[in-house]
Amino acid sequence: MCNLRGLLPRCALLLALGAGCGAAPEDLAAEGPPEGIGSSQHALSSIDCGESSDVGYSNGNAFTIKLVTVDGKKVEKTTANAYYVMAQAAAAAGVHLKVVSGFRTMAEQTYLYNCYTSCSCNSCNLAAKPGYSNHQSGHALDLNTSASGVLGWLNAHGAAHGFKRTVPSEAWHWEWWGGGPGGGPCGSCKPSCKGSKIVSSDCGEGDCAAYGATCADDAKGVRCVSVFCPALGSKKVCVGQSLIGECKDGAIATGDCGAFGAYCSTAGAPEARCVSVFCVASPSDPPKPKSVCLPNGKLASCNGDGALTSAVDCPTGQSCAGASGDARCEAPASPTRAARQPPTPERRRPRCLPTRRRSSSRRAGSRRPRSAVAPPIGGSRTAASSRAPRPPPRARSRCSASSRCSRGSRGAERPELHALACSRR
Return residues touching Zn ion (CB under 5 A): 140, 142, 173
Q: How far apart are CA 201 and CA 84, in angstroms?
A: 18
CB nearer Zn ion, residue 26 or residue 413: 26
CB nearer Zn ion, residue 70 or residue 225: 70
CB nearer Zn ion, residue 142 or residue 413: 142
Q: What angle do CA 202, 207, 213 make, to 5 degrees?
A: 125
CB nearer Zn ion, residue 28 or residue 140: 140
Smallest distance from the beta carbon of 58 to Zn ion, in angstroms?
Answer: 16
Smallest distance from the beta carbon of 183 to Zn ion, in angstroms?
Answer: 24
Give the dihedral of Cα atoms 341, 342, 347, 349; nearest 10 deg. Answer: 160
Smallest distance from the beta carbon of 142 to Zn ion, in angstroms?
Answer: 4
Give the containing element (helix H, strand E) for 414: none
Smallest distance from the beta carbon of 173 to Zn ion, in angstroms?
Answer: 4
CB nearer Zn ion, residue 173 or residue 358: 173
SS3 293: strand
Looking at beta carbons, which residue is closest to Zn ion? Answer: 173
Smallest distance from the beta carbon of 170 to Zn ion, in angstroms?
Answer: 6
Amino acid at 323: A
Smallest distance from the beta carbon of 154 to Zn ion, in angstroms?
Answer: 13
CB nearer Zn ion, residue 37 or residue 225: 37
Smallest distance from the beta carbon of 99 to Zn ion, in angstroms?
Answer: 11
**Residue 285, phi then psi, degrees to nearest 5:** -90, 115
CB nearer Zn ion, residue 131 or residue 245: 131
Q: How far is CA 314 from CA 3, 96, 290, 349, in A?
A: 87, 92, 17, 38
Long-range contacts, 275-284 (Cβ 8 Å, 24+): 275/305, 275/306, 275/307, 276/302, 276/306, 276/307, 276/308, 278/302, 278/308, 279/306, 279/307, 279/308, 280/306, 281/324, 283/238, 283/241
Q: Is 36 exposed, middle or buried (0-12, 13-18, 19+ CB in 10 A)?
A: middle
CB nearer Zn ion, residue 23 or residue 140: 140
Smallest distance from the beta carbon of 80 to Zn ion, in angstroms?
Answer: 16
**Residue 301, phi then psi, degrees to nearest 5:** -115, 135
CB nearer Zn ion, residue 122 or residue 226: 122
Amino acid at 388: A
Residue 10 contacts by C-beta under 8 Å, 6 or more apart in sequence?
Answer: 2
Smallest distance from the beta carbon of 110 to Zn ion, in angstroms?
Answer: 16
Amino acid at 47: I
